[in-house]
Structure 1
Amino acid sequence: MEIVTHLINDTIEFYKWTLTIADKRVEKWPLMDNPLPTLAISISYLLFLWLGPKYMKNREPFQLRKTLIVYNFSMVFLNFFIFKELFMAARAAGYSYICQSVNYSDDPNEVRVAAALWWYFVSKGIEYLDTVFFILRKKFNQVTFLHVYHHCTMFTLWWIGIKWVAGGV
């Protein structure tokens, strides 16, 4: 038991230390103050993966044509916005196409890059809806291990990326 307590304390101390080197520009942004909201969203996603098919078992598939059209067009617009912001800010900041270290300053272009990357992180959370729509439409064959792994890791890993390295190439 003492070893477990020691391991937990060491892990907590390590996390506290990592916060001292986190990107200060993003610490007050939504979802960025600590990992719990991101983890809660990811756990809810995994819970839906387990409960959703049980709920849909004896039901007709939902017809979500209009919803999917709105969702897909919204994602196209969001991703275009992210691309535009990254392109314009990186160009204005004089980014190198080969290697660019993270600039943690409050330079407006650097903050704009960080904000665009934050929106990309948010988009990964929104994309959990891809799986929700598959399940509600009873397209269970689309929900593969790779699909689930990709969605869970992208959202979680992008939180880490934004927390510590929001910028650079």
Structure 2
Amino acid sequence: MIDIEEMPGHLVRRFQQIAVAIFHAEVGKTGFDLTPVQYAALARISTNPGIDQATLAGLIAYDRTTITGVVDRLVHKGWLTRTVSGRDRRARVLRITEEGLDVLRRIQPAVEEAQRIMLGGLTEAEAKDLLRLLHKATAAANDLSRAPLRAASTPASDAD
């Protein structure tokens, strides 16, 4: 029988638990209640204004049916707007608000500190190697995920 401590899935799950705990601790110090997925959504929308929810789900490798709840919470907080697309009435167009941009700016140092803490047991070279190998492994298995990462396309502006 294989020792679970030698299984990449087990180690990745443990590291994810640790990463989430560190993220919450560091971002919580800023006074904001924000999950890692909410942060990823805000960050991607800030660099892709006017994207729809399905595209957002692909950009952060999140389940399309579950992304609605994430967006709902961010809209409720006043950090995003969601409007019906002028091109496709089924699609919802997302834009970050000024308040949402302010939140991103204010929590950025905490997010960066969380990343440093997560990699704190590694040398700089080891941290770069870990990130490179994680990118390589996730890219190789991306299509096996129930929520694969999808590259951003450049849709025409949705001027509603």
**Normalization by structure 1: what TM-score?**
0.27
**Structure whose residues are more often helix by fraction:** 1
Structure of larger gyration radius: 1
Structure with the larger RCO, 1 or 2 (CA within 8 Å, 6+ apart):
1
**Structure whose residues are more often strand by fraction:** 2
**Normalization by structure 2: what TM-score?**
0.28
